[in-house]
Structure formats: C-alpha cells, structure tokens
Amino acid sequence: MADSAVFRSLVRTFAVARKEAIHLRRDWRSLLLALAIPVLLILLFGYALTLDLKNVPTVVWDQSRTPPSRDFLALVQGSAYFELYAMRESEKELRHDLDAGRAMVALVIPSDFAEHIAAGRPVTVEAVVDGSDANTSRLAASYCRGLGLIFNRRLTVDARPAGVTLVSRAWYNPALRSPNALLPGIVAIVMMVIAAMLTSVTVAREWETGTMEQLIGTPVRAGELIGGKVLPYFVVGMVDVAIAVGLSRWLFHVPLRGHPGLLFATAAVFLTGALFFGLTLSIRFKTQVLANQIALAAGFLPTLILSGFVFAIENMPTALQYLTYIVPARYLIAIMRGIFMKGIGLEILWLDALLLFVYALAMIAAARGGLKLRLE
C-alpha cells in the first residue's frame, strides 16, 4: 500500500516535470539563453576579467643618457610587466601622457644616475603611477619596486658576498594565473543566474496565466508540484555546470586535480538550493517581474560580490565578513577551488559541503512551506 502511494506520488511529480519541460522547450529563447550563459561567462571572465597586470604602458624621461641608465631601461623593456610606450624630454610631456591615459607609469631617471652608481651611493629613480585606479596602481608600484631590487642585485652580486636570499613559491597556482582562481567560481555564478532567470518565474507564471487554480483542483500535492517544477531546470543547470567545467578545463587549461565526481556532487547540492531559492521567491511574490528582480538582487549580486569570487573576504570590513557566512556561494567557491587547484576532498571540505547541504534543505523547506497553504 505504501509502495503504491509512493509510486502514484512519483507519477504525479514526473507529470508536473513533463509539463514544465514542455513549457521550457516551447520557450526556446530562455532555454537557449540558459545554455549560452555559461559560455558567455567563461569567455568574459576568462579573457576580460583578469587580476594579472602585464604590458603596463610606461613612459620614461632619461635625464642621464648613460650606459647605466640604458642598462636599467633594458631591464624595464625586458620585463613582461612593462611596455615602453615612449621616451620623453620633460615633466610636462610625462604629465600629458598620464592625463590622457596613454601611460600608467612614468619613470624619471635623474641626471646623476651614473655618478651615483659608479660611486656606490644610493640613487632614486622616480616612478609615478596613475592612482585613479587604486588596485592597478598598487600592482604597478609593486612591480616598479621589484625592478629596483633586481637592478640592485645585478649591481651587487659581484661586489659583496652573498647574504640571505628569500625565495618565494606559490603552491597550487605556481604561475599565479587569474583564470585558475576565477573560473572555478563561475560554477556558482552560473547556477545563481539559472535560478534567478528560470525558477523564480515558474509558479508566478502559473498565477498570472490562471493555471494555478487548475493545479489546485488536481490531486497534485505541494511537494510533488515543487519537485516537478524544479526537475527540468535541475537538468539544465547540471548541463550548464558541465559546460562551465569543460570550458575552464580545455579552453583556459585550469587544472582539475581533485575528483570530478565530488565536484559535480557538491555542485548538485548547491544547484538544488539555488533552484528552490528561486522557486520560493516565485511562490511568495506571484508576479514574474518582481520575483525575477528580487532573485537577481538577493541571489546573484551577493554571489558575485560577497562570496570571495572576485574580492577577497579578508579585505572586506568586519561587518561584511560576518555577512558572507550567510552567502552559500562562499562555501561552494571554497570547494570548487579546493577540488580544482588543490586536489583535496571531503576530509578537508566536509564542513563547507555540510553547510551547502543544510542550505539546500532549508530552501526546500521554505518552498514547501510557502506553497502548503495554497494547495492543501
């Protein structure tokens, strides 16, 4: 008897899922957009958004014009971080290049550069950076200091005995490539977009078109309705995850050192929570436009800004750092980066995975509770 009831419940759930899949297939534009979003985001974040700073346009005013100053300029030109834009003859020309945005860094080599080098005295090379972009200017200034250290080391390597040498190494991402850090987090972004765009309008559409009253008159229960509503979008979401992972791996060569099964399992848990989050909004607000806008504001934006995807959580104000603990994407991104770059598993990531599971259960309960009074 119990088995028969479970079977009938599954039949009703899949009937709702079939109905939703038919609607999704007819709304082919939304389906196409849902499948195109991961491709667009991977290409956008992989090519356009980078935290690396290379080929910084640089102008130079060499007041010395001596072999030592030319050696220093050769070091600048040989660096992958600087691109010599032009040689100038005055401070006015340097200022004009910075004002016009043609250069990000201006180097001023003093006229007594060679004399100080020959006498073994310290000499100052002025590096002026465009501070209108604070993050970029900090990186550029750091690179300039690095050039100074390299030049000093070349001068002193034969003049004095070797001292302490600090050698730094970056584990997990030796080349410090931005795509390796950013693209694993695309999985969370993609799933929140799918939830905001698709499931946040499902039940609201039923109310607006007047078909919800017909569903209420059928034997379908609340749990069967929300399960059937989510199932087609879960399939679409997992296809999107596969697209995002595949493009990250083969187009941008992001290493996948961990177990793919664990990656897709944790992504499925997060996707479940995200879909039921969008469904809950659709149930609560009953209008497609309002539910969609709130889903974007409450789901996508915190995922982008407060999850550690782009901005380091440690650099945020203390109040915002505490706020990030309620952003589920924070835990998924930590899992994705751990699996992709570190190759670790649940022995370390178990707490993040557990919190994602709690999030999914909470969203299922919220959707089920929101629809209960309207159907039973």
Task: Give the pair of three-digit tokens for residue 334.
Answer: 């930590």
Q: Is the domain of 333 the same as that of 203?
A: yes
Amino acid at 339: I
pLDDT of residue 326: 92
Residues 235 and 270 in one domain: yes
Whether residue 275 lies inside any domain: the answer is yes
Q: Give the pLDDT of residue 43.
A: 84
Residues 222 and 188 in one domain: yes
Q: What is the pLDDT of residue 358?
A: 96
Question: Would 300 be classed as within a structural domain?
Answer: yes
> Is 1 domain-assigned?
no
Does residue 359 contact residue 301 with C-beta atoms inside 8 Å? no
Mean pLDDT by 10 residues, the chain (376 residues): 71 80 78 82 77 78 86 82 85 85 85 82 81 73 79 63 52 77 84 78 69 67 80 89 90 90 94 90 78 81 85 84 92 92 90 95 87 52
- Supply 68's token pair: 């030592």
User: In this structure, which amino acid lies at residue 84?
Assistant: L
Asked whether the beta carbons of 361 and 269 are under 8 A apart, the reply is: no
Helix H, strand E, coil C: the string for the chain is CHHHHHHHHHHHHHHHHHHHHHHHHHCHHHHHHHHHHHHHHHHHHHHHCCCCCCCEEEEEEECCCCHHHHHHHHHHHHCCCEEEEEECCCHHHHHHHHHHCCCCEEEEECCCHHHHHHHCCCCCCEEEECCCCHHHHHHHHHHHHHHHHHHHHHHHCCCCCCCCCCCCCCCCCCCCCHHHHHHHHHHHHHHHHHHHHCHHHHHHHHHHHCCHHHHHCCCCCHHHHHHHHHHHHHHHHHHHHHHHHHHHHHCCCCCCCCCHHHHHHHHHHHHHHHHHHHHHHHHHHCCHHHHHHHHHHHHHHHHHHCCCCCCCHHHCCHHHHHHHHHCCHHHHHHHHHHHHHHCCCHHHHHHHHHHHHHHHHHHHHHHHHHHHHHHC
Are both 298 and 314 inside the same structural domain?
A: yes
User: Cβ atoms within 10 A of the Cβ of 261, count?
Assistant: 9
**Which pTM value belongs to this model?**
0.78
| Whether residue 36 is found in the same domain as residue 146 | no
Tally of structural domains, the chain = 2
d(CA 209, CA 217): 16
Q: How many angstroms separate the Cα of 110 from the Cα of each of 60, 91, 106, 150?
A: 11, 12, 13, 19
pLDDT tens string 281-308: 887 877 777 877 888 888 888 888 888 8
For 98, the token pair is: 């910075």
Q: Which residue segment(s) compose the domain that 319 sits in?
A: 17-49+177-375
For residue 373, the model assigns a pLDDT of 44
d(CA 302, CA 200) in angstroms, rounded, equals 17
Chain-centroid distance of CA 146 in Å reads 28
* Cβ count near 257 (within 10 Å): 12
Q: How far apart are CA 52 and CA 237, in angstroms?
A: 30
Residues 303 and 338 in one domain: yes
Which pLDDT score is estimated for 363?
Answer: 92
Please indicate, yes or no, whether residues 72 and 185 belong to a single structural domain of this protein: no
Using the 3D structure, point to which of 126, 156, 186 is the last residue of a domain: 156
Pair 228, 86 in one domain:
no
Residue 375 pLDDT: 45
